Amino acid sequence: MTRYENILFDLDGTLTDPRLGITKSVQYALNKMGIRENDLEKLTKFIGPPLAYSFQEFYGFDEEKAWQGVEFYREYFAVKGIFENKLYEGVPELLRELYAKGVVLAVATSKPTVFAEKILKHFEIDKYFTAVVGSNLDGSRVDKGEVIAETLNILKIDDVEKTVMIGDRKHDIIGAHQNNLKAIAALWGYGSREEFEEAGADYVVEKVEELKAFLLGNEIKAGF
């Protein structure tokens, strides 16, 4: 018996830790635009939100310049950065057990679908997911609410009470609530407890094992 019949997972910061690949890709893009940033730690804020949005928010780029940054980012990411990534400990076991119990699993990410599919295949966890939905390379469907809506549409889910979204940034929580889903915040990723509280996360879990226990129906403390 599991707590939910359908589970949507964010990718970056939830299933995998993409820190090195994303920060080096951003560093590469900024360098091509005449901005030197030697401290990769300062670029971790790019993990999670849509890229164009982050270039505008953190560097004051206008929309055209932000998309130029995205194009430069992809030059590095598509070849090397995509594989500078690692699974969080316990994730393969979590997915395997949920899948074995008949839970419908999907990935809902702001990362372009083509990159998300390659990452899942690289780590050999693609077999667990019924649907993988991300943004489009042309910049459309980057909003997490839109991504989640399309995922629900593909899965033909009508009963949202039996469905949950799991992610590590406020965008996951907000996007879930826009689609009337409950949202579980993953503290092992790149969001803070304060960020999740402000966004109104329904549950907060600190470790993958804690998430596993909660999803399998065990009564544990999963909150602020």
100 and 160 together in one domain:
yes
Q: What is the CATH number of the domain that holds 144?
A: 3.40.50.1000
69 and 176 together in one domain:
no
* pLDDT score, position 219: 61
Total number of domains in the chain:
2
43 and 64 together in one domain:
yes
136 and 205 together in one domain:
yes
For the cut 60, the answer to whether the pLDDT of residue 221 exceeds it is: no
Residue 215 and residue 105 in contact, taking contact as beta carbons nearer than 8 Å = no
pLDDT, mean over the chain? 95
pLDDT in tens, 173-212: 999 999 999 999 999 999 999 999 999 999 999 999 999 9
Region 112-133: mean pLDDT is: 98
Dig out the tokens for 81 from the structure. Answer: 């950065």
61 and 94 together in one domain:
no
Q: Could you write out the DSSP letters of every residue in 64-103?
A: HHHHHHHHHHHHHHTTTGGGS-EEPTTHHHHHHHHHHTT-
- Beta partners for residue 105, in sequence order: 7
Return the active site residues: 10
Dig out the tokens for 61 from the structure. Answer: 């780029």
Q: Which residues fall within 8 angstroms of residue 60, CB to CB, at 6 or more apart?
A: none
Residue 223 maps to a domain = no
Residue 120 C-alpha from the chain's centroid: 12
Residue 221 maps to a domain = no
User: Angle 124-130-131 (CA atoms, 0-180°, nearest 5)?
Assistant: 95
Q: Of 66, 83, 100, which residue constitutes the final position of a domain?
A: 83
3-state secondary structure of 27: helix
Residue 194 maps to a domain = yes
User: Angle 183-45-95 (CA atoms, 0-180°, nearest 5)?
Assistant: 40
Q: Which residue has the tokens 């990411």?
A: 77
In degrees rounded to 5, what are phi and psi of residue 85? -155, 160
Dig out the tokens for 15 from the structure. Answer: 């299933």
123 and 175 together in one domain:
yes
**The pTM is what?**
0.92
Edge-to-edge strand order for the sheet containing 182-186?
Answer: 131-135, 104-112, 6-9, 163-167, 182-186, 203-205
Dig out the tokens for 76 from the structure. Answer: 């590095």
Identify the domain containing residue 47 by its residue range: 19-83
* pLDDT score, position 85: 97
pLDDT in tens, 83-121: 999 999 999 999 999 999 999 999 999 999 999 999 999
